[in-house]
């Protein structure tokens, strides 16, 4: 018999729900994105995010069930992102899922948002099984993760300050692109010359797999200011290309080192920045060169979505993870 899980995600600015079958197959995937509204403020406004989740969540869940041609009684469990993220945003999804699970008499499965991002690869790549190394690069996290099993993780490296996506958004702002800026930097980089500008290497002392992206923003600001002071025109496309190359090199070199240390021959990437064309092509070519398998999520599953929660919810369900009515949302929580 197949296991059907409804996944609910509301940790940031997407209200999302999806239905999975046996983890790997997605029957429906509905997202109400608030990105355009937050864009007016240059970033996510937590208070607005909570209100929009509150308005949208019932409709999104109803639509996900309808698109999957299912009733609540057809489900085996309800999975929800409960950590980490914006607390007010997480509370909407968590409270809603608790009420729904209670009224339907279904098990409630608490899902870690980062575990969800990692699971997005299982949907597209039916043959991907742990153990492997995963690069998680999103707006809030930059992690090199050893995926020991579907529900067991070890963090091998992380950013000491800004996340890769945060760095993209900050650089985008300096270059005059709207929020969220990563995708605009990606497009601009396509017609730039990365060798035109020199940016600092995001390395740090201590752990070779750790990184620091905060200096990159300062370097981009300085280059823009210097050009303005000298009355020179800033070559935005080339600065975007240099930035993208620096971030991609930093992330890819660390993931390859992690694979070397652990001896794994499988690598995957996840999170919003995994949609970056420069990162994807560098990761694929380096994996090919080093005889490793490379698994990348389809672009639509890189950002926050319900499918990844429905998928990870299945593995957490099979591992016996359950929550009761005391489940609370948690803003900060390690994956391990």
By CB under 6 A, residue 9 contacts ligand KG4: no
- Residue 165's binding partner among ligand KG4, Zn ion, none (Cβ under 5 to 8 angstroms by kind) is ligand KG4
Site residues (CB under 6 A) for ligand KG4, limited to 92-121:
none
Q: Does 304 bind Zn ion (CB under 5 A)?
A: yes
> What part of residues 222-251 is at the interface with Zn ion (CB under 5 A)?
none
182 binds, among Zn ion, ligand KG4, none (CB under 5 to 8 A by kind): ligand KG4
Tell me which of Zn ion, ligand KG4, none is bound by residue 186, counting a contact when its beta carbon lies within the kind-specific cut-off of 5 to 8 angstroms.
ligand KG4
180 binds ligand KG4 (CB under 6 A): yes
Looking at the chain, how many residues does it have? 336
Nearer to ligand KG4, 107 or 180 (CB): 180
Residue 183 binding ligand KG4, by CB under 6 A: yes
Residue 6 interacting entry, from ligand KG4, Zn ion, none, C-beta within 5 to 8 Å by type: none
Measure the CA–CA gap between 158 and 144, rounded to whole angstroms.
6
Among 65, 74, 71, smallest CA distance to 8 is for 65
Looking at beta carbons only, is 157 or 303 nearer to ligand KG4?
A: 303
Q: How far is CA 269 from CA 106, 124, 182, 239, 294, in A?
A: 32, 12, 16, 25, 8
Residues 124 and 301 sit within 8 Å (Cβ to Cβ): yes
Q: Give the residue, chosen from 7, 88, 110, 181, that forms a contact with ligand KG4 under the rule CB under 6 A.
A: 181
- By beta-carbon proximity to ligand KG4, the closer residue of 153 and 168 is 168
User: Among 48-56, 98-106, 124-132, 271-279, which window interacts with ligand KG4 (CB under 6 A)?
Assistant: 271-279
In this structure, the number of other CB atoms found within 10 A of the CB of residue 72 comes to 15
Minimum CB distance to ligand KG4 smaller for 274 or for 323: 274
Alpha-carbon dihedral angle through residues 215, 179, 136, 2, given to the nearest 10 degrees: 170
Tell me if 262 sits within 8 A of 133, measured CB to CB.
yes
Assigned token pair, 210: 């750790």
Closest C-alpha to 92, from 126, 55, 137, 43? 55
CB of 105 to ligand KG4, least distance (A): 32
Helix axes 277-289, 236-262, angle to 10 degrees: 40
d(CA 28, CA 248): 32
Residue 182 within binding range of ligand KG4, rule CB under 6 A? yes
Asked if 20 and 5 touch (Cβ cutoff 8 Å), the reply is yes
| Contacts with ligand KG4, residue ranges (CB under 6 A) | 12, 138-140, 165, 168-169, 180-183, 186, 271-273, 275-276, 303-304
| Contacts with Zn ion, residue ranges (CB under 5 A) | 138, 304
């Amino acid at each position: 018999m197949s296991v059907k899980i409804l996944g609910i995600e509301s940790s940031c600015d997407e209200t999302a729900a999806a239905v999975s079958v046996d983890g790997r197959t997605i029957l429906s995937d509905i997202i109400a994105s608030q990105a355009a509204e937050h864009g007016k403020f240059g970033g996510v406004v937590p208070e607005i995010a909570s209100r929009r989740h509150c308005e949208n969540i019932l409709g999104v869940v109803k639509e996900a069930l309808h698109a999957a041609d299912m009733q609540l009684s057809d489900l085996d469990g309800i999975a929800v992102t409960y950590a980490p993220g914006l607390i007010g945003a997480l509370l909407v999804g968590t409270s809603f899922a608790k009420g729904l699970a209670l009224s339907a008499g279904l098990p409630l499965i608490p899902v870690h948002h980062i575990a969800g991002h990692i699971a997005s690869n299982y949907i597209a790549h039916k043959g991907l099984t742990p153990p492997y190394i995963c690069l998680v690069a999103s707006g809030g996290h930059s992690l090199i993760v050893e995926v020991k099993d579907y529900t067991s993780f070890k963090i091998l490296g992380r950013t000491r300050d800004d996340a890769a996506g945060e760095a993209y958004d900050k650089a985008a702002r300096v270059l005059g692109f709207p929020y969220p800026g990563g995708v605009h930097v990606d497009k601009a980089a396509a017609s730039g010359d990365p060798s035109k500008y020199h940016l600092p290497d995001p390395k740090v002392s201590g752990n070779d797999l750790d990184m620091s992206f905060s200096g990159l923003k300062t370097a981009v600001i300085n280059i823009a200011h210097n050009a303005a002071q000298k009355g020179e025109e800033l070559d935005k496309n080339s600065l975007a290309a240099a930035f993208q190359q620096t971030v991609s090199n930093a992330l890819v070199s660390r993931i390859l080192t992690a694979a070397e240390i652990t001896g794994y021959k499988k690598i995957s990437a996840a999170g919003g920045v995994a949609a970056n064309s420069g990162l994807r092509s560098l990761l694929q070519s380096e994996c090919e060169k080093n005889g490793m398998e490379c698994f990348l999520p389809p672009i639509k599953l890189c950002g926050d979505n319900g499918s990844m929660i429905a998928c990870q919810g299945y593995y957490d369900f099979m591992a016996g993870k359950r929550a009761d009515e005391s489940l609370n949302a948690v803003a900060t929580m390690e994956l391990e």
